[in-house]
Amino acid sequence: MSDAQERREREAVYDGWWRCETLGDVEEQGRLVDRWAERHPGTVDQSDAATARELLKTMRRSIERDGG
């Protein structure tokens, strides 16, 4: 795995939710979070990934509500 991919996944976990403007953005960030979580089982990163998923759900609802 490249350093760039690792960085993208980490950024998705820790601040990807605020970058979402469309449902496609939410989906992409969700995929990155899932990959991060799969590669870091049994660590604190799992709870961080769970938090990121919840934030992405909130963003999805907001975008859907606003017609994005």
pLDDT for the residue 68: 60
Round to whole Å and give the CA distance between 25 and 18. 10
| Residue 9 near residue 49, CB atoms below 8 Å | no
pLDDT band at 44 (very low <50, low <70, confident <90, very high): low
Using one digit for the tens of pLDDT, what is the confidence trace for 13-33?
999 888 899 999 999 999 999
Helix, strand, or coil here: 12? Answer: helix
Round to whole Å and give the CA distance between 50 and 9. 14
Length of the chain: 68
The proportion of the chain whose per-residue pLDDT surpasses 90, expressed as a percent, equals 62
pLDDT band at 1 (very low <50, low <70, confident <90, very high): low
| Boundaries of every domain in the chain | 3-65
pLDDT for the residue 42: 77
Round to whole Å and give the CA distance between 62 and 52. 15
